């Protein structure tokens, strides 16, 4: 008995050490990045002898950076809306049904998420040129939406698999047609999953560099703009831009997590 207790304590200590090592691995680089945005110098490096807010002020004064923020967010919102509609429709089509070719359809649905980003970007670029789609916002939105559909479909399918069939049957017995039953029963039940998938796709699109780089026009998204600035070397300005983007995405993520938890309680 004592041996089991000692083994349990040893496992807990080991898991705790691994957990905190992971926390340090993830958060220390982020903290250092944010700190560098306050350095009163044009060069990255330690020690930080003096601190300033000038780099953050300059970010909000820079029209190019502000445009890239808004442009990236608009692309993320549009691509998320498209991927949510398509992904939810595919999930409803596939979940709970058995038909010829279902496995093939499911495989094709998740394929965009499995293809490496650089290969996907090259393929989108070639296909866009073949069908006559000009580089720009439309091409980026299209590529991001295709890439994000699998994530929406998988999340919604997982949630849909837990929907009690008795609720749908009760709605049908009361005279509701399939569309009304979906709107009044299925859709509210799927709301937490759809919201979670939407936020995930929003952040994926906002952060996407490869597809935005290959399919972008003259207006760069925020990741492409940061990459362009990196060509002249690292500077606290880049750290300030990245820190603001980090805070923005963290706020969206925390809000989504709390709102999703509230929806789950209501359902």
Q: What is the pLDDT of residues 117-148, one digit of tens each?
A: 889 999 999 988 888 888 889 899 999 999 99
User: Phi-psi category of 45—alpha, beta or left, where left has phi over 0 and alpha has psi -120 to 50?
Assistant: left
Residue 39's DSSP bridge partners are 51
* pLDDT confidence band for 2 (50 / 70 / 90): low
Which of 75-84, 94-103, 124-133, 157-166 is the most confident on average? 75-84
**CA pair distance 38, 53, nearest whole angstrom:** 6
Q: 93: Cβ–Cβ under 8 A, 6 or more apart, which residues?
A: 105
In this predicted structure, the answer to whether residue 115 has a pLDDT above a threshold of 80 is yes
Mean pLDDT of the region 214-243 = 84
Domains of the chain, start order = 54-266 (1.10.3720.10)
Could you count the other beta carbons within 10 Å of the beta carbon of residue 157?
22
Question: Which residue in this structure is represented by tokens 């903290």?
Answer: 31
As to burial, measured by CB atoms within 10 angstroms (0-12 exposed, 13-18 middle, 19+ buried), residue 253 is middle
The answer to which of 3-7, 37-41, 223-227 has the lowest mean pLDDT is: 3-7
* pLDDT confidence band for 173 (50 / 70 / 90): low
**CA pair distance 128, 266, nearest whole angstrom:** 44
In this predicted structure, the answer to whether residue 82 has a pLDDT above a threshold of 90 is yes
The pTM score is: 0.83
In this predicted structure, the answer to whether residue 86 has a pLDDT above a threshold of 70 is yes
């Amino acid at each position: 008995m004592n041996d089991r207790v000692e083994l349990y304590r040893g496992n807990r200590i080991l898991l705790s050490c691994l957990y905190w090592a992971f926390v340090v691995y993830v958060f220390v680089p982020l903290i250092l990045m944010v700190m560098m945005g306050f350095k009163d110098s044009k060069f990255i490096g330690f020690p930080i002898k003096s601190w300033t807010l000038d780099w953050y002020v300059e970010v909000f004064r820079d029209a190019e950076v502000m445009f890239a923020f808004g442009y990236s967010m608009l692309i993320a919102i549009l691509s998320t809306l498209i991927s949510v509609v398509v992904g939810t429709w595919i999930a409803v089509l596939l979940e709970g049904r058995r038909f010829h070719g279902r496995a093939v359809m499911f495989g094709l649905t998740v394929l965009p998420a499995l293809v490496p980003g650089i290969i996907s970007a090259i393929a989108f670029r070639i296909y866009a040129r073949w069908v006559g789609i000009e580089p720009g916002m439309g091409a980026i939105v299209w590529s991001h939406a295709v890439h994000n559909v699998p994530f929406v479909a998988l999340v919604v399918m997982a949630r849909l698999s837990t929907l009690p069939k008795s609720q749908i049957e009760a709605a049908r017995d009361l005279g509701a047609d399939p569309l009304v039953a979906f709107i009044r029963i299925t859709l509210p039940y799927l709301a937490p999953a759809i919201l979670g998938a939407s936020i995930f796709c929003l952040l994926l699109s906002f952060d996407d560099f490869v597809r935005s780089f290959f399919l972008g026009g003259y207006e760069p998204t925020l990741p492409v703009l940061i990459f362009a600035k990196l060509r002249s070397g690292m500077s606290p300005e880049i750290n300030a831009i990245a820190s603001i983007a980090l805070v923005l995405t963290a706020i969206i993520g925390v809000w989504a997590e709390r709102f999703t938890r509230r929806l789950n309680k209501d359902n």
